[in-house]
Each structure stands twice: as C-alpha cells, then as structure tokens.
Structure 1
Amino acid sequence: MVSVAVSLIIVDATIVNVAIPSIVADLGIDSTQVQWVQESYTLVFASLLLVFGVAADRWGRRRTMLIGIVTFAAASLLAALAPSGAALIGARLLQGLGGAMILPTTLSIINATFRGRERGIAFAVWGSTIGGMAALGPLLGGWLTDSFSWRWAFGINPPIAVLMVVGALLWVDESRSEGARRTDLVSAALSVVTFGTLVFGLIEGRSLGWWTTLDGAADWWPFALSPVPVSLAVSVLSAAAFVRRGRRREARGLPTLIPFELFTITSFRNGNVAALVVSLGEFGLLLSLPIWLQNVLGYDALQTGWVLVALAGGSFVASGAAQALTQRIGAVATVRVGIAAEIVGVGGLGFAITPESTWTTVVPFLFVYGFGVGLATAQLTGVVLQDVPVEESGAASGTQSTSRQIGSALGIAILGTVLFAGTSADLDARLADQGVPAAQRDEVVSAVVDSSGGAIAGLAADPATADVADDARESLTRGTQYSAWAAAGFLVLGLLATLSLGRREDDGERDPGQGSATDRTTVEGKEAPPTSTH
C-alpha cells in the first residue's frame, strides 16, 4: 500500500511530460511556462519534504499520508479543469504540497515497520516502484492524451486516491515517534525561500537575462540589473541563514527542522550528496525527450509513451537483479553499477538521436538507462538510511527525499535551460548562415522555442518555410543532445560522489537506529521492542 501511495506522486511527476505538446497547443503557454508546469510541482515538493518528514513523526505517519493523498487528489482535479497556463501552474503547486506529505511518510513507515532482511526487501520494492512508475507515467499520459485529453492525465488521480485512502485505512498501521521534534517554522520558511529563489533564477535566466535585464523581459522589474542574480543571491543567503539558525538552535537544545547531528553519520552525509547529484542527471532528460520525439520524429503522445516504456522494462529487470547483485557485491557497489549504466544509457542517447532516428535507435539506450535507475535508486536509499536511529526516521527520510527532489528540480531547470537555449542558439546560427534577416530570424526562433517545438509542424506544412522546418528539427535535436550530454555529465559527478561512501556493508542485517538502547517507535499505541547497541 505504501508503494502504491508513492507511485501516485511519481507517476504524476512524469505523466505530464508526454502531454506537454498538447497543453502548449490548448492553453498557448510558452517554453518558460512549460518549465514551470514541471518545476512548480517539484519546487513545492522539494521545499516542504523536510517539514512534513519531521511533522509526520509527531502527527502520525499514516494520518499525514492520508491528508497528503486528499490534498493531491483535490489539486489534480483543479489541474484537470485549469482554463489557463497560470491556473495549471497554481494547481501543480498545490499538488506539490500533497506530494510532500506523501513521500517522506512512506519511507518513514517502511523504516519504522520493517526490520532486518525484510527492510532491505521493502526498500527494494519502494525504489523499484519509483523507477518503474517514472517510466510508466509517460505511457499512461500518452494513452490518456491521445484517447481523451491531456486533462485526463490529471483527472485520473482522484478516483485512484479514493482507493488508496480506503487501502491505507485498512492495511497501514498508524505510527509515530515518542519525543519527536517540533517543527521550526522560521527554518521551514528559509528552506522554501532557498529552493524557490534558486529554481526561479535557473529557469528565468534565459528569459529575463542572466546579469542585465533584457529589453521588455520584465515590466515589473525597473532595474538594469536582472532579477536573476538577485534571486540567486537571496538563495545563497537564505541557505546560509538556514544552516546557521539550525546549528545555533541545536547547540541550545532547541528543536530544529533537521537534526544536524545526522550529518555526522558518514553513510547519511555522503549518501545525500550522491543522491542529489544523481537525481539531477536522472530525471531532467524526461522533459526534453518527449518534446523531441513528438516534434522532430512526429510521434503522437501514445507512441512517445511506448518508446519511454523501455525505461520501465529496464527498471523491472533491475528490480529482479538488484537483491542478488547486492548480496554478491554490496549495496554501494550496486549503486555504482546502476549509475554507470545510467551514464551509458543517457550519454549514448546523445549520440543516437538524429532527425532521421527511429524508435529502434532510442529504445536500447532507454532500457540501459532504466536498468541503471532501478539498480541505483533503491540501494542508495538503503545506504543513506542504514545507520539512522528509528526515532529520527521521519527527519532522515525527509532529508534524503529532499536531496533527491532538489536534484530533480535542478535537473529540470538546468537541462530545460540547456535544451531551449541550445535550440535557440543553433537555430539562430543556421538561419544567419543562410542570410535570413535578424528580425525574421528572431521571429522564427521565438516561435519554435516558445512553442517547445510545436511550431515546427506549421512551418513544415507551408512550402515556403519547409526548409526552415528542417533547420528547426536539426536545432531541436541538437538542443536535446546537449541536454542528454549534460545529464550524463551530472551522473558522472554522482558516480564520483559515491566513491566517498564507506566500505562497510551490512546489507540490511543491521537495523537503522541501533545506536541507542532506549529508541522506541509506537505502532497503534504499542511500544516496539527496544533496539540494542552495537
């Protein structure tokens, strides 16, 4: 049931990818709004994971998950009925709020419920669900978009949520931790500001200007200095204030948003760094690839979903191999094998995709990529949490989930910017080489980029602009290649980050939280047996 709950938010994070061209055509949103449709969800999700990871330990983990499911379902209904891009982005923000309640509580429930070998299996199922549903989301979204409307990509969530609420009430026990820490609201606000201003700067840089404000780009901003560097500076200052406040409150014995002492645990600290960097490269590509498949190769949404289902196939195969491989070589080594497979898959895509490509050239690399995601995701989660005390499981799971979501948010922001900026620069250069006047050049480039490639079909239909359409396809392909190679580069950094992880391997035989003889977790009012010290 817990894996079903997490599947809802993971599917929604990816289901919208193949629907983007239809959303662009229906609501008339530009490429910056395209990124915000993705980012608004991820941004709120990442910003509030820590808050709800801690709060769930006090409120009750099942209760928090149920509130999140209801919130998510209501927001999905609003998204399905959205009359404009702004309304859709607003609904996605609310979805992020519900998702932030669901994800950390699922990990915390697993950490508090299972022991020993069963915990390793539970983490493997949880991680494989993430990998598999991330890939199945585009297929489901493609079918709903082609057969009905992109709105059903969101409208399908409420009835599923009803079944999940019933299932959680029947089969998931309530649990909470004694003496769970209170939420530090000031630190929570600082974390939201930190992540929000960081993502805003990364997404809006190409539209507003990275240093000086572009002409006509921001009527609400009267200064020559662009709001982008200001936003990034606020992010840095907020992050510094967050850490300083947390350390000072911890030294005085006051509650903090996250227990900073957890970062003295090597596996937790180094694992979070690796999780952030890996996530940056993992899912950012799922923004650019559907756009390329539909607007360059001419696939419809369902065909695009079928291509991306190769990811699910790779993840499914990995789920069967992960446990045996972990027992043979250890969890950390399995993570490294998974990341290496991702690098091969994503980097290979950068070379495989051309305007003349077919699904047969793309699918093998997607399969390898999915195989790597399936191997790395679950085992990295286990490595991060393996030495965390049970009473801190909510805070710890919220922290590691936040690391992943920050990475995903940065991936969408950075790789989306690489995609559109690369496409824009390449198309402008191609048209300039052909002697196209600057004004006409800007008009064509803006049409192609702002429509996320949707304007290519219209250019191709007009004999007078058919050659320009060919150039646009080449340029969008080039931008997608840049995005794939950038993703591979971040994954290389993630692989290097895993080299700092310790060599100690217990692979689930040691329960997280065995550092104190007085640790307790209550389940349905009953006290769990105390853990023993090592």
Structure 2
Amino acid sequence: MISLAVSLIIVDSTIVNVAIPSIVQDLGIDSTGVQWVQESYTLVFAALLLVFGTLGDRYGRRRLLLIGVVVFALSSVVAALASDGSVLVASRLVQGVGGAMVLPSTLSLINAGFRGPERGIAFAVWGSTIGGMSAVGPLLGGWLTTSFSWRWAFGINIPIAAVIVVGALAAVAESRDGTRRRLDPVGAVLSVVASAALVFALIEGRAYGWWAVEHRPRVGSWEWPGDISPIPYVLGLAVMAALACAFWAIRRDRYGKGSMFSVELLRIPSFRNGNIAALIVSLGEFGIILVLPIWLQNVLGFSALETGLILLALAIGSFAASGLAGAVGHRASAVIVVRVGLAAEIAGVAGLGIVIGPGTTWGLLVPFLFVYGFGVGLATAQLTGVVLKDVPVTLSGQASGTQSTSRQIGSALGIAVLGTVLFSSAAGVLGSSLDARGVPADQRDSIVAAVVDSSGGAIASLAGSPATAQAASDSRVAFSEGTRLAAWSAAGFLAVGLLATLSLSGGAGGRRLQGGPPDEGLAEPARAGAQQPPVS
C-alpha cells in the first residue's frame, strides 16, 4: 500500500506533462496558464513536505497518509471536471497539499515499520517505484489522452486512492512520536516561505530572467516595474527565511520547546551528508527526465504514446533493480549499492549523450535508458535508507520531510540548470547555422525565438513549408546538440553526487542522537504492547 501511495503522486507529477497539448486545445488556456498547470503542484508540494512530515510525527503517520490520499483524490475529481484553466490550476494546488502529506508519510512508515534485511528491501521497492513511475507516467498519460481524454489523466487517481485507503486501514500500523512535541507555527511558516520561494525562483528563473528582466510578471493590470528581474528578490527572500528558520529552531531547541526542524538531526553524519548527496543526485536525475521527452517528440517526431513506450525501458530497469537490491541487500552495504547505482546512472546518461542526434533511432536509446533506470532503482532507494538509518523513529516524519525537500530542491535546480543548457545551447547552435546560410538577422531571430519558445514544437510547422524546410533541419540538429549537452551535464552532476557519497560510511553504526538507535524508538503500538499488522 505504501508503494501504491508513492505511485499515485509520482505518476500524477509526470502524467500531466503529456496531456498539456490536449488541455490547451480543450480549455483554451494561454502560455501562462500552461506554466501554472504544470508548476503549481510542484511549488505547493515542495513547500509543505517538511511541515507535514513533522505533523505526521505528532498526529500519526498513517493518519496523515490517509488524509493526504483523500485530499488528493477529491482534488483530482475537481481537476477531471474542470471547465476552465483557473479551476484546473486551483485543483492542482490542492493536489500539491495532498501529495505533500503522502510522500514523507510513506518514508516515515517504512522507517518505523521495517528492521533488518526487510528494511533494505522496503527502501529498494520504494525507490524503484519512484524511478519507474517517473517513466510510466508519460506512457499512461499518452495512452489515456490519445484513447480517451486528458480528463482521465486525473480521473484514474480516484480508484487508485480508494484501494490505498482500504489497504492502509487493513494492513498499515499507525505510528507517532509518543513525546507529543510542541507545535511550532512560526517555524512552519518560515519553512514554507523558504521552500516555496526557492523552488519558485528555480522554476521561473529562465522565464523571468536570472538578473535582468526578460519577461515581466503581470497580475491583472499590474506589471512588474524596473529592469531587474523578480528572481533575485525571491532568492533573497528564500535565503532570509531559511536563516530565520534556522535561528528560530536553534532558539526553541535551546529552551526545550521543540521546533519544526530539529537541529539535532544535522549532528547525525549519515543524515547530514546523505541529504547533500541526495540533493546533488536529484539535480542530475530529474533534469534529464524533463529534457528527453521534449527531444523525442519535437525533434524525432514520436507521439506522446510512443515517447512513453520508449521511456518504459527506464521503468523496467528501475523495477529490475529492486529485485537485485533485495537479493544483495544482506551481502553489500547500502552505500556500496548507492555507488554502483550512481555509476550505472552515469554510464546510461553519458551513453545517451553519445547516441543522441537528429537521426537517432529508438533502438539505440532503449539500452542506455534501461541502464540508467537500473541505476536509479539501486541508488534512489538505498540512498534514502542511508539518510534515515540513524534517525530515531520519533523523528521519522521530520527527517523524511527534510529528505524529500532536499530531493525536490535538487529536482527543481536540475530542471532549471539542464533546461537552461538545452535551450541556450540550442539557440546558439541554431543561430550560428542560420548565420552561416546567410539568413537575415531579423528572420534569424524570429526563427530562433519561435523554435526555442515552443520547446521545439515549431519545428514541424517549419518543415511543412519548402521556404523554411532547411531551417527545420537546422533546428533538429540544434535541439539534438542541446539535448546532448544536457545529458552530459546530467552525467557530470551525477558524478559529483557519486563523489559526495564518499562522505557516507558503509556501516550501520554511525553517530546517532542521544536515546539510542532508531530500532529503540519504537512506534506507539509496539510500546503499548499492541499487536501490529504488517506494513505492506
């Protein structure tokens, strides 16, 4: 049930991207609306992970999981029935709230409910589910949109949510922090502001400009003034809120009041260093998942469904890794498995960088996607286990929320960086090619802007006219070169992540908080001597 809950939110975060063209055609939303349909979920989701992880510790992790699933399902109903863009965006915001309740709850339930070899297997299944469902989402979205309607991309969440609720009530034990720590509303607000501002800046930096304003935000009749982009101000707000949150947490912990984020967690080397590694690894992992579908559809001309089928190789590799991780989990340390997984990811992504081109066939891509997915299945799960291995069960939700937030920030940063690499290099290569052909400057700029602003979608229309057919060919080469550079950049970030794992110990005996190892911080039912049903 825990893995199914993870599947629900991961699939939804990727399935919508494939359905966007049909949504635009049906609801008639503009480019700004499209951005918010895609990004509103991510923004709210990332901002609330730490808050709900901590609330799960206090009020019950299974309870928060169930509430999150219900909120997610109800908002999915609204999204499926949306009559205009504003209703769809509002429902996506609420979906983000539900998703933020679910993800840290799944991690903390695993941390509280599994011990010994079963713990490694559970994290392997959890991580492989994330990697695999990231690839299954586009396939499922392409099939539902093509065969039925984009509305079923949201409607499919409802029966899945019903199964999760019934299964969790029957098979997942409740657990919570029995110490009943005090609530910290100020810390909650500061953590939300810091996370939301940082993720917003990373998502919108390329659109609005990282320093000089390139696109002025508008709210009704009001337009952003001045020549400096809003992004530096938002980043400054994120830094100030993060510092204020840290100082506030230190002050409350000093007086024994409890805080939204326990500073003591940072004294655990595996937790501290593991979060740094997870952020860097996510930077490379999730950025490339954004880049590949754009290239496959707009350059190679695959349909949404065909793109999903190609990316299915990634999912197959990820699920295959979970079986191997379970088999070798008791023979090799988790850190070794993480390093092997990252090496496989690097090999897969670097291989993609070698074969990517305007005439690449799908048969050349599938083996490298499988290797990459296999690495994701090994590294993602076991790295999560390493991060949480020395965390007391009483702080599982808070630690899980922090770990998930680190991954989301890394994901947003990866999308920002690799997206910039893709579009900037594609624009430069295309502009140079058109210059070499003697295309006038104003016409060159118009073609480059049309191709880049449409993420390559304009290539098909350019190819349809004899007058611009050569420009379409140049655009395919340029976008392929941008995708190639993005793949190599992702491989570079993953290599840095691999180096970051050198700070992690391979054993299970890292430094822990006072009060004993996590095995001693048993969930509430165990302390009460109650019978616990198995966690599934």
* Same fold, judged at TM 0.5 (above): yes
User: Structure 1 residues 86 and 490, CA, compared in 2 at 3 Å: closer, same or farther?
Assistant: farther
Q: In the alignment, is residue 523 of structure 1 matched against residue 513 of structure 2?
A: no
Distance in 2, Cα, partners of 1:427 & 1:186: 50
Gaps of 5+ in 1: 530-534
User: Structure 1 residues 197 and 74, CA, compared in 2 at 3 Å: closer, same or farther?
Assistant: same
The residue that corresponds to 1:532 in the other structure is: none
Q: In the alignment, is residue 226 of structure 1 matched against residue 229 of structure 2?
A: yes
8 Å CA contact 2:51, 2:191 repeated in 1: no
Shift of 1:184: 1.9
Shift of 1:37: 4.1
Shift of 1:13: 2.0
What TM-score, normalized by structure 2, do the two folds share? 0.91
Distance in 1, Cα, partners of 2:520 & 2:118: 22
User: Structure 1 residues 421 and 368, CA, compared in 2 at 3 Å: closer, same or farther?
Assistant: same
The residue that corresponds to 1:191 in the other structure is: 191
Could you say what secondary structure the match of 2:503 adopts?
coil
Could you say what secondary structure the match of 2:181 adopts?
coil
Q: In the alignment, is residue 134 of structure 1 matched against residue 134 of structure 2?
A: yes
Task: State how 1:89-100 maps to structure 2 within 5 Å.
Answer: 89-100=89-100
8 Å CA contact 2:351, 2:368 repeated in 1: yes
Shift of 1:298: 1.0
Distance in 2, Cα, partners of 1:139 & 1:245: 45
Gaps of 5+ in 2: 532-536
2:290 alignment partner, one of 287, 291, 294: 287
The residue that corresponds to 2:365 in the other structure is: 362
User: Structure 1 residues 353 and 512, CA, compared in 2 at 3 Å: closer, same or farther?
Assistant: farther
The one-letter amino acid paired with 1:109 is L
Greater Cα offset, 128-137 or 23-32: 23-32
Distance in 2, Cα, partners of 1:370 & 1:35: 28
The residue that corresponds to 1:170 in the other structure is: 170
Shift of 1:236: 1.6
8 Å CA contact 1:428, 1:442 repeated in 2: yes
The one-letter amino acid paired with 1:522 is E
Shift of 1:511: 13
Shift of 1:35: 5.6
Shift of 1:246: 1.2
The one-letter amino acid paired with 2:406 is S
Could you say what secondary structure the match of 2:14 adopts?
helix
Greater Cα offset, 261-270 or 146-155: 146-155
Distance in 1, Cα, partners of 2:230 & 2:286: 27
The residue that corresponds to 2:451 in the other structure is: 448
Could you say what secondary structure the match of 2:300 adopts?
coil
1:165-213 residue CA offsets vs partner (Å, 9 max, x unmatched): 2222222232222113334222222222222222333333333232222
Shift of 1:267: 0.9
Q: How many residues align?
A: 527
The one-letter amino acid paired with 2:426 is T
Q: In the alignment, is residue 63 of structure 1 matched against residue 71 of structure 2?
A: no
8 Å CA contact 2:268, 2:390 repeated in 1: yes
8 Å CA contact 2:389, 2:508 repeated in 1: no
8 Å CA contact 1:18, 1:291 repeated in 2: no
The one-letter amino acid paired with 1:40 is S
Shift of 1:475: 2.0
8 Å CA contact 2:334, 2:506 repeated in 1: no
Distance in 2, Cα, partners of 1:33 & 1:408: 22
Distance in 2, Cα, partners of 1:135 & 1:31: 25
Task: State how 1:421-436 maps to structure 2 within 5 Å.
Answer: 421-436=424-439
Greater Cα offset, 61-70 or 33-42: 33-42
User: Structure 1 residues 339 and 69, CA, compared in 2 at 3 Å: closer, same or farther?
Assistant: same
Could you say what secondary structure the match of 2:331 adopts?
helix
Shift of 1:53: 0.7
The residue that corresponds to 1:319 in the other structure is: 322
User: Structure 1 residues 504 and 168, CA, compared in 2 at 3 Å: closer, same or farther?
Assistant: closer
Greater Cα offset, 145-154 or 48-57: 145-154
Shift of 1:450: 2.7
User: Structure 1 residues 196 and 440, CA, compared in 2 at 3 Å: closer, same or farther?
Assistant: farther
The one-letter amino acid paired with 2:456 is G
The residue that corresponds to 2:101 in the other structure is: 101
The residue that corresponds to 2:467 in the other structure is: 464
The residue that corresponds to 2:256 in the other structure is: 253
Shift of 1:258: 1.4
1:125-164 residue CA offsets vs partner (Å, 9 max, x unmatched): 2222222222222221121122123332222112221222
Could you say what secondary structure the match of 1:161 adopts?
helix
The one-letter amino acid paired with 1:223 is G
The one-letter amino acid paired with 2:523 is T
Q: In the alignment, is residue 384 of structure 1 matched against residue 382 of structure 2?
A: no
The one-letter amino acid paired with 2:192 is V
Could you say what secondary structure the match of 1:283 adopts?
helix
8 Å CA contact 1:32, 1:204 repeated in 2: no
8 Å CA contact 2:335, 2:504 repeated in 1: yes
Shift of 1:504: 2.1
Distance in 1, Cα, partners of 2:159 & 2:499: 43
Shift of 1:25: 5.5
Q: In the alignment, is residue 408 of structure 1 matched against residue 411 of structure 2?
A: yes
What TM-score, normalized by structure 1, do the two folds share? 0.91
Task: State how 1:32-111 maps to structure 2 within 5 Å.
Answer: 36-82=36-82, 87-111=87-111
User: Structure 1 residues 269 and 170, CA, compared in 2 at 3 Å: closer, same or farther?
Assistant: same
Could you say what secondary structure the match of 2:391 adopts?
coil
Could you say what secondary structure the match of 2:3 adopts?
helix
1:260-292 residue CA offsets vs partner (Å, 9 max, x unmatched): 101111111111111111111112211121111
Greater Cα offset, 446-455 or 300-309: 446-455
1:299-353 residue CA offsets vs partner (Å, 9 max, x unmatched): 1111111100001111122112113333333110110110111111112212211
Distance in 2, Cα, partners of 1:346 & 1:240: 36
User: Structure 1 residues 216 and 403, CA, compared in 2 at 3 Å: closer, same or farther?
Assistant: closer
1:347-391 residue CA offsets vs partner (Å, 9 max, x unmatched): 221221111001011111100100100111111111111111111
Distance in 2, Cα, partners of 1:513 & 1:494: 31
Could you say what secondary structure the match of 2:241 adopts?
helix
Alignment RMSD: 2.7
Shift of 1:34: 5.6
The residue that corresponds to 1:504 in the other structure is: 507
8 Å CA contact 1:75, 1:94 repeated in 2: yes
8 Å CA contact 1:31, 1:449 repeated in 2: no
Greater Cα offset, 210-219 or 484-493: 210-219
The residue that corresponds to 2:534 in the other structure is: none
1:372 alignment partner, one of 360, 372, 375: 375
User: Structure 1 residues 22 and 420, CA, compared in 2 at 3 Å: closer, same or farther?
Assistant: farther
Shift of 1:26: 5.3
8 Å CA contact 1:51, 1:183 repeated in 2: no
Distance in 2, Cα, partners of 1:215 & 1:128: 39
8 Å CA contact 2:264, 2:513 repeated in 1: no
The residue that corresponds to 2:13 in the other structure is: 13
Distance in 2, Cα, partners of 1:497 & 1:215: 36
The one-letter amino acid paired with 1:59 is Y
Shift of 1:253: 1.4
1:25-48 residue CA offsets vs partner (Å, 9 max, x unmatched): 656667776665443322222211
Distance in 2, Cα, partners of 1:18 & 1:247: 44
The share of aligned pairs that are identical, in percent, is 64
Greater Cα offset, 32-41 or 164-173: 32-41
Q: In the alignment, is residue 487 of structure 1 matched against residue 493 of structure 2?
A: no
Task: State how 1:282-361 maps to structure 2 within 5 Å.
Answer: 282-361=285-364
